[in-house]
């Protein structure tokens, strides 16, 4: 298997010059934290970049996906890949790789730590060991996040806690699996296969995430478009509701769409899904031309919209792709279509 490093807390060291943590641990030091018995697993290494994940940008998603493609071309028989990454934006990066690397046939496992390796009670060694177990032995063919003994699908995951070991939770359905004495995978995971992988790193990173709040001025949407953004994910209230009386957003949404900007409505709620047809204040967004994020988290909707806009700016095609379940990001639609109808 291949271990790729990108920085993050798991690879951080204390820097007295700034009196804080920063990435700086080599991949060799990471491997030294693992138990001796793991030597039965052959690990090749790649250092992609070294950043705090708060500094990760969309081009870093592309770099990770391109590194996976390169390793696959060089060593197609690898059992799986582990990517160490900071926890702050791991969901974004792992979700992006889910779309950019499809039909890979084996696990691409993201992991990290809440506490640096040099601290005796760090969760890093366990998370890294669990990630390697999944990459080497699990009958899994998805990009996933392995953390605190759980296996999560990135597009269904949120970082819920800033400093606890159980940083991540899956949001409907439950995790893909758990790790104990054995690796236990639940029914909704994809199993290993021999399909030809699809590598597609095209994105348009001019996508904005806007949280709706009481008093939000509608003119903010035109400001966003004037800044050059081609897509907006709006976090609505509850099931995707928006203001329709004072500070109504319906006219601003119509104007944005008329200017060729894709508008997607997600929910500020962690659990449940967007349903724009349930209330009149949600139906107003739908009638104005906005798209529903359905089950997608706001993070997944943002990443997916950037990936979709990297392929087309035609709003009818954008709508079709946003409602296509590519990698399990919209589980209520059913099994992944993998974009076959769209030639992707």
Task: List the catalytic residues.
Answer: 9, 87-88, 159
Closest CA to 236 of 227, 224, 249: 249
- Round to whole Å and give the CA distance between 5 and 197: 22
Strand pairing class (177-179; 183-185)? antiparallel
DSSP structural state of residue 78: -
Sequence-ordered list of residues with C-beta below 8 angstroms from that of 80, at least 6 positions apart, any chain? 1, 2, 106, 107, 108, 109, 134, 135, 136, 138
Closest CA to 34 of 111, 110, 132, 108: 132
- Round to whole Å and give the CA distance between 168 and 151: 10
> Count of CB atoms within 10 A of residue 321's CB?
20
* Ramachandran angles phi, psi of 185, nearest 5°: -110, 140
Beta-ladder partners of 193:
none
Closest CA to 237 of 281, 303, 297: 281
* Ramachandran angles phi, psi of 296, nearest 5°: -65, 140
């Amino acid at each position: 298997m291949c271990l790729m490093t990108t920085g993050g807390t798991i690879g951080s060291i204390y820097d007295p010059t700034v009196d804080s943590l920063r990435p700086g641990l080599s991949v060799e030091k990471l491997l030294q934290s693992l138990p001796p018995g793991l030597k039965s697993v052959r690990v090749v290494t790649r250092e992609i970049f070294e950043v705090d994940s708060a500094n990760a940008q969309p081009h870093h998603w592309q770099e990770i996906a391109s590194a996976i493609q390169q390793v696959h071309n060089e060593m197609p028989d690898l059992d799986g890949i582990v990517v160490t990454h900071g926890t702050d934006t791991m969901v974004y990066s792992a979700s992006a790789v889910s779309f950019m690397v499809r039909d890979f046939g084996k696990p691409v496992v993201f992991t990290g730590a809440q506490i640096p390796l040099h601290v005796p009670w760090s969760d890093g060694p366990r998370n890294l060991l669990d990630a390697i177990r999944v990459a080497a032995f699990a009958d899994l063919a998805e990009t996933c996040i392995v953390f605190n003994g759980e296996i999560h699908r990135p597009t269904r995951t949120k970082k819920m806690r800033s400093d606890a070991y159980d940083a991540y939770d899956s949001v409907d359905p439950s995790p893909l699996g758990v790790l104990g004495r054995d690796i236990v995978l639940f029914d909704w995971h994809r199993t290993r296969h021999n399909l030809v992988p699809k590598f597609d790193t095209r994105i348009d990173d001019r996508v904005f995430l806007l949280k709706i709040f009481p008093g939000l001025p509608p003119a903010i949407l035109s400001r966003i478009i004037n800044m050059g953004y081609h897509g907006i994910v709006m976090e609505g209230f509850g099931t995707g509701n928006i203001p329709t009386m004072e500070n109504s957003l319906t006219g601003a949404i119509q104007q944005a769409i008329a200017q060729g900007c894709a508008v997607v409505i997600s929910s500020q709620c962690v659990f449940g899904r967007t349903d724009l047809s349930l209330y009149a204040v949600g139906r107003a967004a739908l009638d104005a031309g906005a798209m529903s994020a359905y089950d997608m988290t706001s993070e997944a909707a943002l990443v997916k919209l950037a990936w979709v806009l990297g392929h087309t700016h035609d709003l009818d095609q954008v709508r079709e792709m946003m409602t296509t379940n590519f990698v399990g990001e919209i589980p209520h639609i059913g099994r992944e279509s993998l974009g076959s109808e769209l030639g992707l």
